[in-house]
Homo-oligomer: A and B are copies of this chain.
Amino acid sequence: MSPRRSVAEALGTRAAILDRSVAIASVEGLEGLTIGRLAAELGMSKSGVLGHFGSKETLQLAVLDRAGQIFRAEVWEPALPAAPGLARLRVLCEAWISYLERGVFPGGCFFVAAAHEFDGRPGAVRDAVEARFDAWRGRLAKETRRAVAAGELPAGTDPDQVVFELLGAVMALNHALQLHGDHRAAAHARHAVRARLGA
């Protein structure tokens, strides 16, 4: 009869809350994710949900972390077997495009959406989103520098320029898929990546 659960059960509940939160926030945004809706969909009380996190902001940060684990598994880890430099950069871009094409998050890229939602609102969530983009751009820039150093890209290539253009191609793809439902855009994105990184 006790509502108290074991530690293992509590961790399972927490994981279930986060998985559902990612699904909701992908479409509705991290602010559109409400405690009440979450509780209703999980068959819990609002205070039961909030007890795992303390506040909505803490929940949002945990959801961002969970989405980051998914992105890492879908886009970063598949590229680790590839050789550092141009080969890995190409695999990264293909995994990145594929992640959007397959609709890993139903609302498109979780982080692009979060960036747009929070870029005008100072706070911990905004800072966390910015830090994730900094880290991701840093990884892409590192592989680009390796490719230039190895002579796989023309000498004098500006790594920041390459990363900027890759990010642009992916953002345009995300936009085309979400707003226009245009799946042909994936071919445009791949074409843009090839134009930058070679075939």
- Would you call the interface of chain A mostly helix, strand, loop, or mixed? helix
Copies in the complex: 2
Q: A165 to B172, Cβ gap below 8 A? A: yes
Chain A interface size, under 10 / 10 to 19 / 20 to 34 / 35 or more:
35 or more
CB pair B120 A178 closer than 8 Å: yes
Q: Collect the chain B residues with CB atoms within 8 Å of residue A172's CB.
A: 164-165, 167-168, 171
* A53 interfacial contact with B, CB 8 Å: no
- Asked if A94 CB lies within 8 Å of chain B CBs, one says no
- Measured CB to CB, the residues of A under 8 A from B are 27-29, 106-108, 112-113, 115-117, 119-120, 129-130, 133-134, 160-161, 164-165, 167-173, 175-176, 178-180, 185, 188-189, 191-192
